[in-house]
Amino acid sequence: MTSSLGHALLGLLARTPGTGYDLTQRMSRPVGYFWSAAHSQIYPELARLESAGLVRHEIIEGAGPRPTKRYELTELGRRELTEWVTSAAEPARERDPLMLRVYSLWLAEPAAATDLINQVRQGHVRRREEYAEMAATLEAGGTDRQGLAEPGFAAYATLRAGLGYEEHRIVWCDWLLDRLRENPGSAN
Amino acid sequence: MTSSLGHALLGLLARTPGTGYDLTQRMSRPVGYFWSAAHSQIYPELARLESAGLVRHEIIEGAGPRPTKRYELTELGRRELTEWVTSAAEPARERDPLMLRVYSLWLAEPAAATDLINQVRQGHVRRREEYAEMAATLEAGGTDRQGLAEPGFAAYATLRAGLGYEEHRIVWCDWLLDRLRENPGSAN
DNA sequence: ATCACCATGTAAGCTGTTACATGATTAA
DNA sequence: TTAATCATGTAACAGCTTACATGGTGAT
């Protein structure tokens, strides 16, 4: 009955306990590459996880008008996460806004289409560099050679997937740009 | 102000007019690879597009208790779609449920992890074959050599992206499976 | 003083999924 | 006659985004 967001939060807390604010930050940078959430979604979800007995909190000192809560996994939460992680994967329904555009790209001026794809390509190159740097850092620290049972390896595996994704997209952009150059006009 | 689903429907109607039921079918197979929607979402969206003047309908004979409506684009709808297609692409927030699992894969038994990744790999291989067949059909018909201004080429371009995606995922699965074989135990 | 950062929440609205509801035509 | 296909809608709910609301600490 726990949602994807719930499992994302459990996955973060299994590594290090933290406040809702802290989880919001962590959701945006490393995890945000494959799952994202705003704080307005995270706070109520933490409350739900707590009432399900999967996490618990203690009050610590911190800045702010309301008490600062530090959350951590319970044994039940750890068990739930562990069971979920290898349970049958639901068929991912894709939602790719770029492909939605490309599907109607035949309506656009060739120059505008080229601009669009160039812009998209740039974004992928930027992100590839970002991933490559992170991967290099992890590799320098030996994280890539960590055992399967260590969290660092799991993070490295998602990074590798991200790198592969960006590379495939860049290759595809180059293919399309080639076609747009060869055949800049209208019909065959 | 038009949503992604709205643009998906406009993109379908720009190719061929059709009923809501027909659009539901077309959303599931070729377009569903990168965008999906149920009929319960499509019917109200068509009504919204119509009240915005982007599509119009005529009543035709058909089976069913209610009148059968055939929708088509208006000139305004075509213009809206054409402008949108090359407008600034919003940064896609990724939502990849598999990576969410992988991020917590360090908690799983190595055997269970291997099973999961094998299962995922199989799914990608199946889909790659599906795409490859469709691509072969289009190539045999010369669709891949169509001009940029023809809808067939746009469809072919999305197919190529799909093929590339599946391939990259298979490569990544193989990399992970290799690691799981090499290092089936716990910590380093 | 002003700004950035820490910190937690609620509310309104949109998008998307699942379930409910109806009924005609055609083929096995 | 039974099932599949054509055909259109509504309702309830879950998930996610954007905006509203508050206020303390520390650095410039």
Residue B65 has pLDDT above 90, yes or no: no
B5 touches strand C (CB under 7 A): yes
A188 band by pLDDT with thresholds 50, 70 and 90:
very low
Length of chain B: 188
- Which residue of B3, B54, B86 to mutate against A (max A Cβ within 10 Å)? B86
Residue A39: per-residue pLDDT = 98
Q: Between B32, B90, B100, which is nearest A97 by CB?
A: B90
Query: Which helix (H) or strand (E) element contains residue B32?
Result: none
CA distances in angstroms from A65 to A61, A62, B177, listed in the order given:
11, 9, 49
Residues of B in contact with A120 (CB under 8 A): 89
Q: Which residue is nearest to nucleotide C20 (CA to C1')?
A: B40
Q: Which of A41-55, B53-67, B73-87 has the lowest mean pLDDT?
A: B53-67
Contacts B112 to A, Cβ<8 Å? 86
Digit-coded pLDDT (tens) for A70-87: 999 999 999 999 999 999
Confidence of residue B172 (pLDDT cuts 50, 70, 90): very high
Instruction: Look at residue B185 and tell me whether its pLDDT is greater than 70.
Output: no
For B140-151, the pLDDT digits (tens) are 999 999 999 999
Residue of A nearest to B171 (CA): A164
**Of chain A residues 70-89, which have a CB less than 8 A from chain B?**
78, 81-82, 84-86, 88-89
Among residues B145, B184, B101, B109, which one has the least CA distance to residue A11? B101
Looking at per-residue confidence, does A143 or A61 come out higher?
Answer: A143
How sure is the predictor about B42, in pLDDT bands with cuts at 50, 70 and 90? very high
Name residues 39-68 of chain A within 8 A of B (Cβ).
none
Check if residue A91 sits with its Cβ under 7 angstroms from strand D.
no
- Asked if the model's pLDDT at residue B56 lies above 60, the reply is yes
Per residue in B6-38, pLDDT tens? 999 999 999 999 999 999 999 998 899 999 999
For A53-77, b where at least 16 C-beta lie within 10 A, e where not — what string?
ebbbbeeeeeeeeeebbebebbeeb
What is the average pLDDT value for chain B, to the nearest integer? 94
Residue carrying the six token digits 């079918």: B25
Strand D and B28 CB separated by under 7 Å: no
What is the pLDDT at residue B74?
A: 98
What share of chain A has pLDDT > 90, as a percent? Answer: 87
Question: pTM for the full model?
Answer: 0.94
B63 touches strand C (CB under 7 A): yes
Give the dihedral of Cα atoms B150, B155, B161, B166; nearest 10 deg: -160
- Evaluate if the CB of B97 falls below 7 Å from strand C: no
